[in-house]
Chain A
Amino acid sequence: MELRSQRIVDGFLSGMHRSPYFGQSVEFVQHRQYVPGDDLRHIDWKVWGRQDRLVVKQYEEDTNLRCTLLVDASASMEYGRGPLNKFDYAATIAASLAYLAIRQQDAVGLTIFDTKVRTKLPWRSGRKHLQSIYQSLEQRQPAEKTDLTKVFREIQDTYPKRSMIVLMTDFLGADASVLRGLAALRQSGHDCLVFHVMDDDELDFPFNDPTRFEGMESLDALACNPRSLREGYLESLQKFLDRIRHGCASNQMEYHLTRTSRPLDATLTAFLAARMAHMRKR
């Protein structure tokens, strides 16, 4: 994991970056409409006095990044017929991002979850912390179902300070409430990024022979001719993907649908390129 992540990251990072987060600083950036939950200390009372409306002041923070990596370790993440299953793929992305952040003196936290949080590492930087992250990711085996709503609620409590939350999951087994949980995280001020990790098989459903499909997170089983159900399956899947993508977009989250067959460096490059573009736009 360590080698894989370092090898992926090395070679394309320049070492410097601007924090994507707004924090306390001396350099004022702009006013923003007050929303409930904003720190009252940031309200610009002068504006309130003059204009009778509540706005908060925003400053450019030139401080270390706090990055929270959320890795789904439910049973469905174990699926994969390529060299990496979904969990391995997600863990490698997580490790790579951790390595990248720590190398830039940023703080990284890690949460591995299924129905509940199984592993939780606080924000820290430093080589030892990175090793802990590697170790946690390597030791975890996918199991159990997924309960993202519950996990999001717990994250909200665990990481009250705003951070960049990077979620790596397949969203399988998640119901509609998962989007509300994501919205809540976003409303808490977290900058949320989503890596929707899917295997090629799940996206293309290439099965031809009579197959008995057995659920990885449920006891459901279905013996069928896959070709006869392929069309309906892809139709349902596409609706699901559209719903997730739409939910992320409506909550201003970056969404990356990632195939496990895609090279990891390409995935990271695309992610960082999109991220930099996003920063410049801000």
Chain B
Amino acid sequence: MQFVYQPLAWGFLLVLVPLLIHLINLLRHRRQRWAAMDFLMESYRKHKRWVWLKQFLLLLSRMAMMAVLVMLLAQWVSGSKWLSMFGQSVTHHYILIDDSLSMADQMTTGQATSGQIQTGTAYQAGLRAISNLLRSVADDSGSHQATIFRYSRCEPIAAIKNTQKNSAGDPVLADASATADVLARTIPSNPDSILERLNSTRPFALDVSPVKAIQNVSELISQANGEQAVVYLVGDFRDKDWRQNAQIKSALEPIGQKNVNIELIDCAAIAHENLSIVSLVPDEEILAASVPLMMRVEVRNNGQTAVKNVNVTLKQYEFDANQTQPRVDRFASGNESTLPPLVIDTIAPGETAVARTQMVFSKSGSQVVQATINDDALLEDNSFSAVLEILEGQELLVIDGDDRRMGAFFLEATLNPGGMTRTGWKTRSEGPGFLRDNDASVLSKFASIVLMKTTSLDPRALANLENYVRDGGGLAIFLGGNFTEAELPKWNRDWYRDGQGLSPMPATSIVELPRQDLDSATPDILPLPHPIFAPLLGSSNSPLQFVRVSKYVRLDTKLKPSDAEKAVKSQDATLQPASELSLIADADTDPKLFRSAPQVVANLRDGNPLIVDQGLGKGHVVLTTIPLDQDWTNWPQDPTFVVAMLKMTGYLASFRATDFQQRVGIPVSWDFSSRDYLPEVEAILGASGKSFIRSSIGLIAKPSKEPNLLAQVDPNSPGFTDEQVRAALSTGVTEFWANTLQGNRFVRCFARNAPTAEGELKKISSADLLLGLQGLPVKYRIADSVLSSSALAGLTNRQGFLLALLIGLLLIEQFLAWSASFHLPRRATA
């Protein structure tokens, strides 16, 4: 038997007090000489047994009262299972701990049991709270079980449940408890033994919702019989997660309907200022060796005050042929070079600032760029990396419908100027028949395709072209040239296909644009904000003022609103998974079916579109309503043409590039040809935080689409150890090192970054939190108070029982005392 105040257990000696008083009373009887002894003795003989029995029971009840009183004061915390007879048989504690990135917030509070102030992350505060909680539960009476989940652990199993179905088509229920980190049927007095594995965990660089974990627990509770459940949500309760919490609330409702108490344990008492790098991407242009590119860094201020003079350090890690071995002690194995730092003057609260710098990679291959800012509360989002697949040069296919192949002259001259100037492009000019004779696999070698004076194509060629675009290719169409109005209906039928074809808009007519003076203030071409014209915007005098357009193909801009709306929605639905972390790919969304709303890139002076851009599948189509023909325009002779064409081709080629900023949690896959590389691959995983000792995993690439092989680092792989899972879910660069069939080493890199939303550390107030969960049996408390309050809660139940027992004994004592006539009659007391 144990007590909170063990020394008070000596108070059990007070049990002897009633006995002592009884004995003393026997000694201190008043002596009374009495005449009528006969009647007294007769009464005594008649009631002797009852009197003794009542006095004995009275004595026992008084001794029991003293014992219970001492137990109450000493706070009895240990007991056998017999107490459970008075209440529930088993109490199951379901503890869900948030291990998303925001839990890595560096806290400086945290009252340990020893009374010392402890430092650490919010996650560590949560682990301490769980330890304290289990400790108090272990000290509590009754039978207790504990099941602990991390939010991230519940995600894969939930996905399996969603996708797996039996032969009857019903979903196959996986064992939700299989995802538990701790499954304790009994809780030892020192719970650290069962928490050893959990205590070694750290928050992942993930943005994980508690919904799946709650649904798991809800299912477990519904399957369990005869147990009283308590659900604890241990997390940091950020505003972004809990302000609009309809999903969470609906997940909690089945639990609340079962009268299960829900306790919210807040591990992050305060919200810290935090800067996050949210993006590191090259501008939409060609990535080629020795061709300068602009890298764009975006830094968001997630705090409440403006931040000045933010230093952004950029490093590039270049791989070359001499490097044959991975370096596990560095961020990336390439040759490191540091660029001059970028300084952002001011970032207002909640705003994102952009900084650009020019970079040149002299070698082709996977090249790594890393941007870092100074450390703050959340370390993981202070570093951001991108992997650029730099090529020696990219091939541009020009389909020239001109019999003399002169339609693409200006474009080829622009992209291949000759001499020392490198644009990174290698142009190849072919006739329309090339598209008919080569399918998408051949076309996929070209970074982008430009159609010149090509108005009529074989249906097969059109299909190949459409597949090329939907697979991520960029297509530029220059209308006009040998184009007559009589051909427009057929062109619309083949290319627009009522909004289902390659053309963003249908063509209506060929229109003359009236000439005007060179001094006129309005140039013929009016560019709009778009990457193609980005370098030409912003000046007071338009660089395009000398460009003349004589005639153009007018497009029908009256797009049906419903179509546009559908397109926008489709865009939102498709873009969402790419921008946010999702461990599970959404199988219902096929990016190849995507079609965005047409975007006008530049208008003509009369308001009709000159250039229109539309996303189609993974690629884009840019439709220009003029050919590069002197009869139509003098633009090819204008210097702005070179800029615009380089940007356009770069822009169209950028959609085939790797996603530079994929988030942690998405499996890292390298699909390569078995004709080039051996299947044995060494994967060097990223390293979280300050640690630069990276894990290495030997992989055997699995057969993929013939003749390809797939090497994959999937955090959900069953064979992965905890450390490997941790490494697979870390930010940084994952390198796949392989050998070519000729015996050369080859490396392919992939970058994984922290989810940007996790950098928003703004807290939701407890009042708003509880208001949002109104109607549910929810209690809120901070992690530091878990020990005292939960101990108190346990004690409350126990003490309540003891108090009830004491009151019961008191009533019994009073009844016995009354029955034994120890109470003075009213007449006597008066």
Contacts and interface: CB of A to CB of B under 8 A. Distances in A.
Interface of A: 75-79, 86, 170, 172-173, 199, 202, 206-218, 220, 222-225, 227-233, 235-237, 240
B36 A212 contact: no
A86 B825 CA distance: 27
Contact of A237 (B39, B821, B825): B39
Given A216-B35, A227-B823, A231-B821, 9 more contacts: A75-B35, A170-B35, A172-B36, A206-B828, A211-B31, A217-B37, A220-B41, A232-B43, A235-B43
A155 B512 CA distance: 167
Interface residues of B, number: 31
A232 B35 contact: no
Nearest to A233: B43
B35 A240 contact: no
Interface stretch (B21-29, B390-398, B417-425, B443-451): B21-29
Nearest to A227: B821
A229 B43 contact: yes
Interface in B23-59: 25-26, 28-44, 46-47, 51, 54-55
A232 B31 CA distance: 20
B822 interface: yes
A228 B34 contact: no
Name the residue among A213, A224, A231 with the largest chain B CB count within 10 angstroms: A213
A232 B25 contact: no
Contacts of A227: 821-825
6 contacts: A213-B32, A228-B820, A228-B821, A229-B40, A232-B47, A236-B39
Task: Kindly list the 3 A-B residue pairs having the minimum CB-CB distance in the complex, ordered from nearest.
Answer: A232-B43, A227-B821, A76-B35
A216 B31 CA distance: 12
A79 B29 contact: no
Contacts of A218: 37
B30 A209 contact: yes
Contact of A220 (B29, B37, B823, B824): B37
Contact of A231 (B25, B37, B43, B823): B43
A231 B50 CA distance: 13
Contacts of A215: 33-35, 37
A237 to B, nearest CB: 5
Nearest to B824: A208
Given A225-B51, A229-B51, A212 B40 contact: no
Contacts of B43: 229-233, 235-236
Given A223-B26, A225-B51, A228-B820, A214 B31 contact: yes
Nearest to A86: B35
Chain A contact surface mostly? mixed
A172 B35 contact: yes
B821 A222 contact: no
Contact of A212 (B31, B51, B55, B823): B31
A243 to B, nearest CB: 12
B36 A237 contact: yes
Given A206-B828, A208-B828, A225 B822 contact: yes
B44 A222 contact: yes
Contact of B820 (A199, A211, A217, A225): A225
Nearest to B42: A236
B550 to A, nearest CB: 128
A222 B38 CA distance: 11
A61 to B, nearest CB: 40
Contacts of A214: 31-34
A228 B37 contact: no
B32 A212 contact: yes
A195 B553 CA distance: 147
Contacts of B33: 79, 213-216
Contacts of A233: 36, 39-40, 42-43
Contacts of B828: 206, 208
A213 B34 contact: yes
A68 B31 CA distance: 38
A223 B824 CA distance: 18
A199 B566 CA distance: 112
A252 B825 CA distance: 39
Contacts of A232: 42-44, 46-47
Given A225-B821, A228-B51, A229-B47, A212 B30 contact: yes
A208 B38 CA distance: 19
Nearest to B829: A208
B33, B37, B55 interface centre (most CB from chain A within 10 Å): B37
B17 to A, nearest CB: 17
A202 B35 contact: yes
A228 B43 CA distance: 9
Contact of B38 (A172, A207, A209): A172
Contacts of A236: 38-39, 42-43
B51 A240 contact: no
A248 B820 CA distance: 37
A86 B822 CA distance: 30
A199 B32 CA distance: 14
B41 A211 contact: no
A222 B40 contact: yes
A240 B34 contact: no
A77 B25 CA distance: 30
A237 B26 CA distance: 26
A223 B35 contact: no
Nearest to A218: B37
Contact of B29 (A170, A208, A211): A211
Contacts of B55: 225
Nearest to B29: A212
A248 to B, nearest CB: 19
A232 B34 CA distance: 16
Nearest to A206: B828
Nearest to A173: B38
Among B31, B39, B42, chain A packs the most CB atoms within 10 A around the CB of: B39
Contacts of A77: 35
A236 B40 CA distance: 8
Contacts of A230: 43, 821
Nearest to B46: A232
